[in-house]
A = this chain, B = another copy of it.
Amino acid sequence: MKNDLPPDDFDLTDFLPYLLNQAAEECSLAFQKHYKDRYGMLRTEWRVLFHLGRFGTLTAQEISARSKMHKTKISRAITKLEHRRWLKRDTDAKDRRRELLQLTPSGQKVYHDLVQVAHDHQLELLGQFKMTDAKALQNMLKRLGRLK
């Protein structure tokens, strides 16, 4: 006979999606302050900027695949970043549906500035753990996010 109640050792307070959301909110909000205050950016825009800064030239579709963000979110973020002249778009000559996106020099400046902040922020977040635990955490998160 199937046991249709969860075992006693299951506590929703330990539920992984819940813990992940709490932690993600806490950590992201703290960092959001920086790109919001300095550059008036939204989280979506920061993420697009970050992908282009990290990976170079990408299409919207590729950003969507990597970040798992909805393509309309990305489309709108790109428009905003373009208006601020932080990225430029060029139609791919080989496939004119695709638009090759890359940061302008001033976009790269913003990126490098924020990477520095991100780095400091990260040190603070991970500083509370042992180095090996921190590495293990990163690896487990990558697997959960299907990033590897």
Residues of A within 8 A of B (CB): 4-7, 10-28, 31, 47, 50, 53-54, 67-68, 112, 115-116, 118-119, 121-122, 125-126, 128-129, 133, 136-138, 140-147
Q: Are B115 and A6 in contact (CB under 8 A)?
A: yes
A20 contacts which of B5, B24, B54 (Cβ < 8 Å)? Answer: B24
The reply to whether B22 and A68 contact each other, CB–CB distance below 8 Å, is yes
- Residue of A6, A115, A136, A146 ringed by the most chain B CB atoms within 10 A: A6
Q: Is the interface of A mostly helix, strand, loop or mixed?
A: helix
Which residues from chain B contact A16 at a C-beta distance below 8 Å?
A: 27, 122, 125-126, 137-138, 141
- Can you name 7 A-B residue pairings with CB atoms under 8 Å? A12-B118, A14-B122, A17-B27, A17-B121, A18-B47, A128-B143, A129-B140
Q: Given A16-B138, A119-B10 in contact, is the A24-B26 Cβ separation under 8 Å?
A: no
Q: How far is the CA of A7 from the CA of B120 in the complex (A)?
A: 11
The answer to whether B4 touches A116, judged by C-beta atoms less than 8 angstroms apart, is yes
Other-chain residue from B10, B28, B112, B146 in contact with A21 (beta carbon distance below 8 A): B28
Asked if B122 contacts A15 (CB within 8 A), the reply is: yes
**Cβ-closest chain B residue relative to A20:** B24
A27 / chain B contacts, CB cutoff of 8 Å: 16-17, 20, 144
A51 to chain B, nearest CB (A): 9
Residue contact B6 to A116, C-beta cutoff 8 Å:
yes
A145 touching B31, Cβ below 8 Å: no
